[in-house]
Amino acid sequence: MLKRIRRTRSAGARMRTADEEELSRVHVDPDSAPPAYEGSAVIQAADLQTPEEARESERAISRRDAPGTLRLVVALNVGVILCALAYVLFQGPSSLAIGGASGLSIVLSSAVPGLPNDVALWIVNAVLVVVGLVFVERRAVVWSVVASVALSAYVSLIQWLIPVTASLTGDLWLDLCCTVLLVALGNAIAYNAGASTGGMEIVVMALARHTSLPVGHAVTVANGGIVCAGVVLYGPRVGLYCVLGLLVQTVVVNGVLNDLKQHKVCTVICRWPARVEEFLVRELSRTATITRGYGAYSGREVSVIMTVLTRAEATRLEKYLREIDPDAFVTYVNTSQITGHGFRWV
């Protein structure tokens, strides 16, 4: 009985101690507590920049908002060249009909004896261009039409420079891997700049516009039909490779695209918040959201700086923070879905 009373008293003491600690935390007044960090209060970006610097920052933001014609053309050509190399060196010789205009041209070349792959691709893309101009709004399809013509031209050029009639590796699995990697990288580069590599995207836009099919289902219908034709023409072994290639290509494109679009959400707490704000505005042409906070343990007031940067800009910020405040507290969170002024155009 005595032991039970002692345990009860001990438990009551622990409860009172916990209650007292809770009350002490609740009654911390951050406004009356001394600041934990030195540095001036939040200042306006307009006070950090001269009018000329402000105009230059606005121009830099505008350049980030829109890709620009030159960047668009360069990205489109790089993406199309990678797809053309995959088609000539790996996909065509192994008859890998893994969807898209290239897969449809391989099916057509096999169905019509004596028809070269590059000529079949010209025929397929010509039909797709007509479909796009007739069934899709011309403004929406213009870059897809350009990419379709460019793909056919690059395939013919590479086929003329590097005549390939048989598999370079002699291994269907290696050809599939090389095809998927090159095509996925080419598509991701083009998509990241706001362009495309053309081809079956025109059919997808036409199906989505004139039927009730969602875009995702339209892609499945268009590419699924090509893969099924490959199974019939080349047998179950090659057909299953085509199915696998289509699935893996989708995953790789999404992965590469997310990596290209990746940004860093940076949260900074340091001794010199005003200097960090000035660095963001002057040097990086970025802005930030400043909030007031206080430490849960100390109750001291701090300035919390939150900004979104590219990976290169985040590296520059990290280097600057090491110079002015090695003890700065910084967190980085990866994100690839950002829209708004200064990032992707909406």
Residue 35, pLDDT above cutoff 70: no
Q: Is residue 92 scored above 60 in pLDDT?
A: yes
Listed in sequence order, the DSSP H helices in the chain are 2-26, 45-48, 51-65, 69-86, 100-111, 117-135, 138-161, 172-192, 201-210, 215-260, 273-282, 311-324
Same domain? For 125 and 269 the reply is: no
Tokens read off for 210 = 């004139």
Provide the pLDDT for residue 11.
Answer: 43
**pTM of the predicted structure, to 2 decimals:** 0.63
* 278 is a domain residue: yes
Do residue 243 and residue 267 come from a single domain? no
Same domain membership, residue 224 and residue 275: no
Structure tokens at 104: 């449809």
Q: Which of 236, 260, 284 is the last residue of a domain?
A: 260
Same domain, yes or no, for 233 and 315?
no
For residue 64, give both structure tokens.
């980030």
Beta bridge partners of 330: 268
Inform me whether the pLDDT recorded for 106 exceeds 70.
Answer: yes
Domain boundary (195, 226, 260) is at 260
pLDDT band at 118 (very low <50, low <70, confident <90, very high): confident
- Range 221-235 average pLDDT: 82
Closest listed residue to residue 37, CA positions, set 315, 274, 322, 334: 274
User: What's the rounded Cα separation, in Å, for the pair 64 and 94?
Assistant: 41
In a domain, 130, yes or no: yes
Statement: residue 89 has pLDDT above 80 = yes
Whether 341 has a pLDDT exceeding 70, the answer reads no
Percent share of the chain, pLDDT over 90: 14
> How far is residue 156's CA from residue 281's CA, in Å, rounded to a whole number?
49
First to last CA, the chain: 74
How far apart are alpha carbons 262 and 257 in whole angstroms?
A: 9
Whether residue 103 lies inside any domain: the answer is yes
Query: Residue 321 sits in which domain range?
Result: 45-63+262-335
What's the CATH code of the domain at 295? 3.30.70.120
pLDDT of residue 332: 92
> Rounded to an integer, what distance in angstroms lies between the CA atom of residue 56 and that of residue 78?
30
Q: Does residue 288 sit in the same domain as residue 170?
A: no
Between CA 67 and CA 74 the distance in angstroms is 11
pLDDT at 12: 45
Confidence of residue 307 (pLDDT cuts 50, 70, 90): very high
**pLDDT for the residue numbered 158:** 92
* Same structural domain, 161 and 250: yes
| Domain count across the chain | 2
In this structure, the number of other CB atoms found within 10 A of the CB of residue 326 comes to 8
Whole-number Å distance between alpha carbons of 257 and 269: 31
Q: How confident is the model at residue 266 (pLDDT cuts 50, 70, 90)?
A: very high
Distance CA 208, CA 326 (A): 54
Specify if 20 maps to a domain. Answer: no
| 3-state SS class at 212 | coil
Same domain, 180 and 98: yes
Residues 134 and 231 in one domain: yes
Residue 318, pLDDT > 60, answer yes
pLDDT category at 330 given cuts 50, 70, 90 is: very high
* From 8-22, 76-90, 112-126, 256-270, the region with the lowest mean pLDDT: 8-22
Find the mean pLDDT for residues 108-121: 88
Residues 111 and 256 in one domain: yes
How many other C-beta atoms can be found within 10 angstroms of the C-beta atom of residue 155? 27
The three-class DSSP label of residue 89 is helix
Q: Considering the chain, what percentage of its residues have pLDDT values greater than 70? A: 72
Query: Does 167 share its domain with 266?
Result: no
Contact predicate 181/251, CB 8 Å: no
Question: What pLDDT is recorded for position 203?
Answer: 74
Whether residue 243 sits in one domain with residue 176: yes
Highest mean pLDDT among 125-134, 187-196, 266-275: 266-275
Residue 30 located in a structural domain: no
Structure tokens at 41: 């209060």
Q: Please check whether residue 9 lies inside any domain of the structure.
A: no
CA atoms within 13 A on the CB side of 266: 28
Cβ contacts of 215 within 8 Å, gap of 6 or more: 204, 208
Choosing from 195, 230, 260, the residue where a domain stops is 260
